[in-house]
Amino acid sequence: MILLKDCFRVVRTHYGSGQFASTTGVASNTGGAGTSGAGTSGAASSADDDLSGVDILIDGKRIRKISKGIPAPEGCVVVDASRHEVMPGLVNTHHHFYQTLTRNIPAVQDAKLFKWLVYLYEIWKGVDEEAVYWSSKLALAELAKTGCTLTTDHHYLYPQGFKEDLPGLQFKAASEIGLRFAPTRGSMSRSRKDGGLPPDTVVQDEDTILAESEAALKKYHDKAPDAMRKLALAPCSPFSVSERSMKDAAALARRHGARLHTHLAETLDEDDFCVKMYGRRPLRVMQDCDFVGPDVWYAHGIHFNDEELKILAETGTGVAHCPSSNMRLGSGICRVREMLDLGVPVSLAVDGSASNDASDMLGEARQALLLQRVRYGAAGITAREVLGLATIGGARILGYDQAGLMEEGALADLALFDVMKMEYAGALSDPAAALLFSGYNHGVDHLVVNGEFVVRDRRLVGADEETIRVEANRCAKALLEKAGVKAEW
Ligand code: ZN
């Protein structure tokens, strides 16, 4: 058991426009602190909804009680939270862990998506077992240290000669770091010889993809609401897989009660490619593959037209917003404001580290706040709305009804940020919003996942950070050298 004592503020995030209004099945009456009646639907929360000076008792994997003056049960670990903003852990809904080894490559620092992909594929085709393992550890560690308790990953690269069980390596890394992990089994079937962008050596044929996807679902997908492991299927994009692969994935995932994911509407080049290749716009291609619905979420979703936004709302199809990557590659600005108003489920994501080039989850929330305002003006999105889509919004998109919540009975996935640091001085009239408006060090003091410490006193509990740094740099260097790219460090 863990008792978080005298929390300076407890943030109860909501999802702005009620997209996730269905009841969670967990108690919403937190009693004793004037919190009853606070659901997860309705208007975005405000500073008035936050709780001051309460304790949070974590028992097993769940929040048992939120109240003032909870006596510490015997044997309980007591944490002084009087300097801390305590909030549901952030949820990352799109990433490519392996790209942490190819961040900030000078040759494509200024390239847009297709040119960037073509160059990097020549490096990525050398990804081996060690690269997958250490890049996963690195990405997961960075996510944990910046407030993320639940993440996905989208690994779609299956180089010839890769010997080990690839999802297995990632699940191993996630269980060592301690995060709740709901990755996707990605795939690519359209290489250069078929008019796609990836080299022939990193794609698989449709039958292999189908067989390996089914085996991975059987091995790793846990449908339980408190699962530490789930698996979704994620053909990479309309320009790197065949229509048959998309259709196969949709049918297979639904047979196993798993979710579906892909990149969509990221660039105007993709629109052109789809119109040329399929004679249809990207969303139409997805509709024809039965790749829409409440069990589907797309990464980016920048270039949907008005009609397509309505289709997303009507079908309940979600969008993972990746503001840093979209800015980095100059891809455009996702229409999040309009999506929220229409009722489209939206979540937040850092995207792969070759286009971010960090796995800074709290930093990403700040980017989302600011980027919507570039498009829609200062009232474009509120800090509370961003925190809502970064927590409960992401949890729902990854298939978790009981995460992303600050309620008794919810899963104990919590982030504790010290807001008594210099960088938040003068910003404490709304401490939750201060995390997005102010500050420059996005690290948590403590992170709890499934009732266990993952970060304690700013250090990872389950892994040595220096080892991760050294091993990741070694793997990155080997990967670049294999491709003939200069790597001197
Ligand atoms: Zn991506």
Q: How far is the CA of 353 from the centre of ligand 1 (A)?
A: 9
The answer to whether residues 243 and 251 touch, using CB atoms and an 8 Å cutoff, is no
Q: How far is the CA of 487 from the centre of ligand 1 (A)?
A: 25
Please give the pLDDT value at position 44.
54
Q: How far is the CA of 256 from the centre of ligand 1 (A)?
A: 24
Q: How far is the CA of 434 from the centre of ligand 1 (A)?
A: 29
Rounded Cα gap, residues 8 and 51, in angstroms: 8
Q: How far is the CA of 90 from the centre of ligand 1 (A)?
A: 18
Which sequence spans correspond to the domains of the chain? Answer: 2-89+402-457, 90-359
Q: How far is the CA of 373 from the centre of ligand 1 (A)?
A: 23
Q: Is the pLDDT of residue 89 over 80?
A: yes
Q: How many residues does the chain have?
A: 489
Rounded Cα gap, residues 153 and 136, in angstroms: 9
Q: How far is CA 275 from CA 191, 201, 242, 272, 283, in A?
A: 18, 26, 14, 5, 11
User: Which amino acid, residue 446?
Assistant: H
Q: In the structure, what pLDDT confidence band is assigned to residue 14 with cuts at 50, 70 and 90?
A: confident
- Phi then psi for residue 7, to 5 deg, are -60, 130
Q: How confident is the model over 324-343, as pLDDT tens digits? A: 999 999 999 999 999 999 99
Q: How far is the CA of 352 from the centre of ligand 1 (A)?
A: 6
Rounded Cα gap, residues 255 and 237, in angstroms: 22
Q: How far is CA 121 from CA 85, 129, 343, 480, in A?
A: 41, 17, 36, 11
User: Can you list the positions of beta strands (E) in 137-254?
Assistant: 148-151, 154-155, 180-181, 184-187, 232-235
Q: How far is the CA of 68 from the centre of ligand 1 (A)?
A: 43
Work out the percent of the chain whose per-residue pLDDT is above 70. Answer: 93
Determine the topology of domain 2-89+402-457 in CATH: Urease, subunit C; domain 1 (2.30.40)
Q: Is the pLDDT of residue 40 over 50?
A: no
Beta bridge partners of 444: none
Q: How confident is the model over 129-144, as pLDDT tens digits? A: 999 999 999 999 999 9
Rounded Cα gap, residues 368 and 384, in angstroms: 12
Q: How confident is the model over 383-407, as pLDDT tens digits? A: 999 999 999 999 999 999 999 999 9
User: Which amino acid, residue 141?
Assistant: A
Q: How far is the CA of 121 from the centre of ligand 1 (A)?
A: 14
In the structure encoding, which two tokens stand for residue 471, read together? 């091993």
Q: Is the pLDDT of residue 201 over 50?
A: yes
**Among the listed residues 462, 413, 397, the one whose alpha carbon sits nearest the alpha carbon of residue 184:** 397
User: Which amino acid, residue 324?
Assistant: S
Q: In the structure, what pLDDT confidence band is assigned to residue 96 with cuts at 50, 70 and 90?
A: very high
- The whole-number average pLDDT for the span 145-150 is 98
pTM given for the model: 0.94
Please give the pLDDT value at position 196.
87
- Phi then psi for residue 186, to 5 deg, are -85, 175
List for the chain the helix, strand, coil content (%; round to 5): 40, 15, 45
Q: How confident is the model over 272-297, as pLDDT tens digits? A: 999 999 999 999 999 999 999 999 99
DSSP per-residue letters across 292-318: -STTEEEEE--S--HHHHHHHHHHT-E
- The whole-number average pLDDT for the span 70-84 is 97
Are 2-89+402-457 and 90-359 the same fold in CATH?
no
Q: How far is the CA of 144 from the centre of ligand 1 (A)?
A: 20
Q: Is the pLDDT of residue 17 over 50?
A: no
Q: How far is the CA of 92 from the centre of ligand 1 (A)?
A: 12
- What number of other Cβ atoms are within 10 A of residue 343's Cβ? 16
Q: How far is the CA of 45 from the centre of ligand 1 (A)?
A: 30
The answer to whether residues 450 and 89 touch, using CB atoms and an 8 Å cutoff, is no
DSSP per-residue letters across 113-182: HHHHHHHHHHHHTT--HHHHHHHHHHHHHHHHHTTEEEE--EE----TT--S-HHHHHHHHHHHHT-EE-
- What number of other Cβ atoms are within 10 A of residue 103's Cβ? 16
Q: Name the region of 426 (left: φ>0; alpha: ψ -120 to 50; beta: rest).
A: left
Q: How far is the CA of 376 from the centre of ligand 1 (A)?
A: 25
- Phi then psi for residue 148, to 5 deg, are -90, 130
Determine the topology of domain 90-359 in CATH: TIM Barrel (3.20.20)
Q: How far is CA 37 from CA 41, 52, 55, 153, in A?
A: 11, 17, 19, 35
Please give the pLDDT value at position 16.
55
